[in-house]
A = this chain, B = another copy of it.
């Protein structure tokens, strides 16, 4: 059935990007990884560029921070913890996505319409931190620095878990990393 095959193509592409980067992606290996003939890819996508852009849009759509509206009445620390925990889980689970998204955006395959970046998460964090500063809970430090600490730490740690721990993310790791983060930014 059609949807199934589309997903097989997308999964194959993601997996391969993790292994050989966008530089190493061949239509033939995508087909092989997805257990189908090379020609079949062209029934679903006009060409390689369209395939990659389609995957990009799919990933973007899925990464919408749906959680935000449900929790933004909670205290800052709790909000941050929930955000941290969820993001870390997602990132580890989907570390391949990060690799794909980062590489794709500076590859020769990006279409113009893809070029909008997700400043969304950053903006959510900024608002949260500003609120925290007003409530005297967060250090009075340039929000951009705080945001870099949070996002940078998050990404680097998730990549480490993904690579060196084979994706095994314990509650202890989540809590330990979060309290490190929280202590760094709290007043």
Interface residues of A (CB under 8 A from B): 18-25, 99, 102-103, 106-109, 139, 141-142, 144-149, 151-157, 160, 164, 173, 176-177, 180-181, 183-185
Contacts and interface: CB of A to CB of B under 8 A. Distances in A.
Nearest to A117: B163
27 contacts: A19-B106, A21-B103, A21-B106, A22-B22, A23-B23, A23-B103, A23-B109, A99-B106, A102-B102, A103-B103, A144-B164, A145-B157, A145-B176, A146-B180, A148-B153, A148-B160, A149-B149, A149-B153, A149-B157, A149-B177, A151-B152, A152-B154, A152-B156, A152-B157, A153-B156, A180-B184, A184-B184
A31 to B, nearest CB: 17
Nearest to A185: B180
Contacts of A103: 21-23, 103
A180 B180 CA distance: 11
A85 to B, nearest CB: 14
Nearest to A164: B144
A43 B146 CA distance: 48
B20 A180 contact: no
Interface centre among A146, A147, A156 (most CB of B within 10 A): A156
Contacts of A102: 102
Contacts of A144: 160, 164
Contacts of A152: 151-157
Nearest to A106: B21
A18 to B, nearest CB: 7
